[in-house]
Amino acid sequence: MKLLRLSPIALAVAAFAVHAQETATEPVATVVVSASADASAQGLPSAYAGGQVARGGRLGLLGNVDIMDTPFNTTNYTLGIIQDQQARSVGDVVANDPAVRSARGFGNYQELYMIRGFPVYSDDMAYNGLYGLLPRQFVASELLERVEVLRGANSFVTGAPPGSGGIGGSINLLPKRAANKPLTQVTAGVETGGQGYLATDVSRRFGEENRLGVRVNAVRRDGDTAVDRESRELSVYAVGMDYRGRGYRLSADIGHQDHQLRGARPSVTVNDALPIVAAPDSDSNYAQPWTFSGERDTFGTLRAEADLPGGATAWAALGMRKGDEFNIISSPTVTALNGATTMTRFDNVREDDVRTGEVGVRTELKTGAVSHKLSASASTFHAESKNAYAMSDFAGFPSNLYRPVDVAAPSSAFFTGGNMNNPLLTQKTIASSLAIADTLGFLDERVLVTVGARYQKLKDYGYDYGTGAPNAAYEEGELTPVAGIVYKPVKSVSVYANYAEALQKGPVASGVNIVNQGEVFAPYVSRQKEVGAKYDSGKLGMSAAVFTTSRPSGAVVDNRFGIYGAQRNRGVEMNVFGMPMQGLRLLGGLTLLDAEQESSGKDVIGVPKTQLNLGADWDVPGVQGLALNARVLYTSKQYANDANTQQLPSWTRLDIGANYLLRFMDRDVTLRARIDNVTDKRYWASAGGYPGYGYLVQGNPRSVVVSATVDF
């Protein structure tokens, strides 16, 4: 077992936290301050019964909206479920959502989230409402207070995301803030493979009426994982601050994440002439030992909100990120039923520079018997990406999926694009938008009608990898409207409908053996119709929705990536959450999907027809502080190629856990244990994610993680 190498900063934060707790005096809190991710007057929506999800969440320029008042289907996961399930990343959190399945980016280890059968790339997630600010491939859960999932097209609500997502849904991540009560937590743990874990979470409020809040998080993971010969190192540091003045509010965040993988298990491609082969042993690793993936990101945000005369509120926000990535990847292609493969080496380096901002105003008024909630905003986004890549001989080298063969790293100088030591600018994306919305209330707010539109202008420029010369560009604008209605026949029931559009940034041709590498495609619009109903008893919540979405689709034909035909996804969603009886918490649901290529009538790559989640958390009677939990995930068959001749089997996974809160030496201590994939099932978890490709990602093996959290 590897020993956990603790960074000096993590140790220093822990030591400072303990000292601060021992010497701090109890503040007199004459102003009530709740944890609010944006230091807004609205505050953070309260948790629903059971504490696993929230009563509402942020809907872009509309602000925080209660789940019963929005014409969309949303779920907002809280810090409570993040901690109790010992989630490592956003992917672990959204595993609770029946409309979401995690996949992987093409040719890397990027977390990718399929919502309603459409990809949401990790760099399309918003950080407190702003795009492009968080690390591209992996976002550590310790940065987050909440994970808000909006299902459905959302370009009006949040603007067009920078990475071609936003059609099936969006994910907004909220940073942590200091609450009234001082917090000093230290968590240590270990998981299968010997990976160690240490985290500190410290917050205080200072000054007159405790107006200034500071929260510091430091995280370190280091060691092998449950996959044979795979190791991970993660360092995260984040500071969140807020100030609540008289008539104005400020907040700021700065963070750094360093994430490195060595010998990580790669994606697998199966030759199109073969059926899908059986997945290897659950902990088997067919990676070459010299493969590597590293990502370092530093990011920050600043947000301000001010109260204006007449009850209006204005806000402004800006953010920046600088990111560096370096990868040495070798992914196998299966060429025979016995698991024989060919592998090549692919290296790439990437540098990102992102700047984004938003301003807006929101107010409420009445015209006769009709209430109005008016919102308007303007946003801007600017990103530059420098890239270079290098490949080995396309003939590759042999190995076997079931009996991997290690080879010396081949030269990657056979085919290159740009200078790996000095990558040039290869892509620039500039986006701007103006949006306006009005939510009209009729019949004492029993009927809510939301109408609005966002005009968005996208500029995308491509440059030659070797010379930096421009080789592709477009500048296009589009108006994306929205219309939604909510009707509440009784207090506990909402019926809703919406029409929404998604403006999707055109893709960039990329991948191995693509002859038009780097070609930039123009943006296109997707259209969604949805109707649904929601129920809220105060203790148990339920929702159901029927939707259909269509969009142009990308594919690879004769080694050339292009926009060919269209994709139509339609389906039904049902969700349940809350605490129907004391001590029992439920979270889960069912999604039925039909994703079709309209030109051929075939099913779309990587979209299962059935996704089922069943989760329960139970307080054990007679044992104060002890809770047991279990979760079952079911995913039906899915196709891995456009012709539908390759099909992944369905899979079912069982996860269990236990949490025990006790007092030890006059301290609150929380002990947690969790086993994911209890039966150690071997299975292909997903196919594809990037348009036109059906690469396979194997599900993780059985993994045991235990930790202890001490409140000082």
Write down how long the chain is.
Answer: 712
Instruction: Tokens for 132, please give them.
Output: 């492009």
**Count of domains in the chain?**
1
Q: List, for residues 341-361, the tens digit of each pLDDT value.
A: 999 999 999 999 999 999 999
Mean pLDDT of the chain: 91
**Distance between CA atoms of residues 187 and 432, nearest Å:** 42
Q: List, for residues 205-264, the tens digit of each pLDDT value.
A: 999 999 999 999 999 999 999 999 999 999 999 999 999 999 999 999 999 999 999 999
**Distance between CA atoms of residues 42 and 244, nearest Å:** 12
153 falls within a domain: no
pLDDT of residue 603: 95
- The answer to whether 600 and 642 have CB atoms below 8 angstroms apart is yes
Q: List, for residues 450-492, the tens digit of each pLDDT value.
A: 999 999 999 989 999 999 999 878 888 889 999 999 999 999 9
Q: List, for residues 353-411, the tens digit of each pLDDT value.
A: 999 999 999 999 999 999 999 999 999 999 999 999 999 999 999 999 999 999 999 99
pLDDT of residue 559: 81
- Residue predicted with more confidence, 649 or 511: 649
Tally of CB atoms within 10 A around 471: 15
Domain range enclosing 354: 8-148+162-711
578 falls within a domain: yes
- The answer to whether 128 and 523 have CB atoms below 8 angstroms apart is no
300 falls within a domain: yes
Any idea which of 331-340, 537-546, 686-695 has the lowest mean pLDDT? 686-695
pLDDT higher than 80, residue 29: no
Calculate Rg over the CA atoms of the chain: 25
- The answer to whether 116 and 332 have CB atoms below 8 angstroms apart is no
Range list of β-strands (E), 13-92:
56-58, 64-66, 73-77
**Distance between CA atoms of residues 76 and 45, nearest Å:** 10
**Distance between CA atoms of residues 638 and 642, nearest Å:** 11
Mean pLDDT, range 146-171, rounded to an integer: 87
478 falls within a domain: yes
β-pair type (332-334, 269-270) = parallel
% residues pLDDT > 90 (the chain): 80
Instruction: Tokens for 479, please give them.
Output: 């108006």
Tally of CB atoms within 10 A around 405: 12
Output the domain CATH number for residue 567. Answer: 2.40.170.20
515 falls within a domain: yes
**Distance between CA atoms of residues 516 and 156, nearest Å:** 32
Amino acid at 111: E
Instruction: Tokens for 552, please give them.
Output: 């142009």
pLDDT higher than 50, residue 127: yes
290 falls within a domain: yes
3 falls within a domain: no
Instruction: Tokens for 299, please give them.
Output: 């990011």
**Distance between CA atoms of residues 37 and 508, nearest Å:** 34
Q: In what order do the strands lie in the sheet with 118-121?
A: 100-104, 111-115, 118-121
Q: Which residues contact 342 (CB under 8 A, 6 or more apart)?
A: 332, 333, 335, 395, 396, 397, 398, 399
DSSP state for residue 140 in the 8-state scheme: B
State whether residue 587 is helix, strand or coil: strand
Tally of CB atoms within 10 A around 479: 13
| Res. 524 pLDDT band, cuts 50 70 90 | confident
**Distance between CA atoms of residues 288 and 202, nearest Å:** 40
